[in-house]
Amino acid sequence: MSTKTAAVLFSGGKDSTYTIAKLESAGYQVSCLITMISENKESYMLHTPNIRMTELASRALDIPIVFGHTRGEKEEELADIKKTVQEARKTYDFRALASGGLASEYQKSRVEGIAKASDLVSINPLWGLDQAKYLTRIVNEGYRFVITSVSAAGLDENWLGREIDDLSVRELISLSCKFGFNAALEGGEGETLVVDCPIYVNGWLRIISATKTWDGYRGFFEINEAELVPKEASFVC
């Protein structure tokens, strides 16, 4: 068994997707993706908006995916994540468990605990990065992603479904300074879905239909239908 093999806790968002790229550039083989489906949209640990889009993303990445399920109750969901990781290891060859956390000590410490209990090394390649610089970098590197939820002062319904480009990066950074949220939305202020990026080898995700909901403070961009299309097809979300 190679020592440079890893499973990635995968949500389909920008951070877990970029984590895959960082691992591959460091010489790791990503053996599988692990996605948890939570019944609780308020999970402390897990990304929930459009989580089933990870199946399309795994096909785009050409990496197998393992799904686990949890009620999403605080702390108790950790046992479900650990069980899913350990089940995945029975099928796939990996010695490390990677996650895309930037600054959440709560999540980092708990992923480390799951890794230790499963005799795995915990890897957090994005940990501690300057969030504004990181956000700028991934857009410049060709990561195309849309915002699928917002829940912070300064972010209104107009951000839902918006693709993040050079202009919106500058707007997000400016708003984060004014309202005090994390520029890369690390603190749960928003969630994202990557629709195309350099490591999508089998196509990109075209959103066919979606529904916005907004309650005056927070909102969601729920994707009703999407498809994987060839890279040569014109990019229209």
CATH number of residue 173's parent domain: 3.90.1490.10
How far apart are the C-alpha atoms of 229 and 36, rounded to whole Å?
Answer: 25
Say which amino acid occupies 65.
I
Q: Residue 221: what pLDDT?
A: 96
Q: Which residue has the tokens 């610089």?
A: 133
Phi and psi at 13, nearest 5°, equal -85, 175
| Span between the terminal Cα atoms of the chain, in Å | 41
Phi and psi at 220, nearest 5°, equal -135, 150
Q: Residue 237: what pLDDT?
A: 53
Q: Smallest Cα–Cα separation from 125: which of 111, 141, 140?
A: 111
What is the chain's pLDDT, residue by residue, as a tens digit (237 residues)?
Answer: 457 999 999 999 999 999 999 999 999 999 999 999 987 777 666 767 799 999 999 999 999 999 999 886 777 889 999 999 999 999 998 999 999 999 888 889 999 999 999 999 999 999 999 999 999 999 999 999 999 999 999 999 999 999 999 999 999 999 999 999 999 998 778 999 999 999 999 999 999 999 999 999 999 999 999 999 998 765 555
Question: Are 110 and 165 found together in one domain?
Answer: no
Q: Smallest Cα–Cα separation from 176: which of 140, 213, 134, 215?
A: 134
Q: Residue 236: what pLDDT?
A: 54
- The tally of domains found in the chain comes to 2
Q: Residue 232: what pLDDT?
A: 75
Predicted TM-score of the model (pTM)? 0.93
Question: Are 115 and 143 found together in one domain?
Answer: no
Dihedral class, residue 8 (left if φ above 0, else alpha if ψ from -120 to 50, else beta): beta
Q: Residue 192: what pLDDT?
A: 95
Could you tell me if 207 and 195 are in contact, meaning their C-beta atoms sit under 8 angstroms apart? Answer: yes
Among 79, 103, 123, where does a domain finish? 123
Q: Report residue 95 as tokens.
A: 């010695």
C-alpha count within 13 angstroms, C-beta hemisphere, residue 33? 29
How many Å separate Cα 31 from the centre of its chain? 17
Among 88, 123, 158, where does a domain finish? 123
Residue 17: give its domain's CATH number: 3.40.50.620
Q: Smallest Cα–Cα separation from 68: which of 32, 107, 20?
A: 32
Question: Are 10 and 117 found together in one domain?
Answer: yes
Grouping H, G, I as helix, E, B as strand and the rest as coil, residue 107 is helix
Q: Residue 43: what pLDDT?
A: 66
Q: 84 is in which domain, residue-wise?
A: 5-123
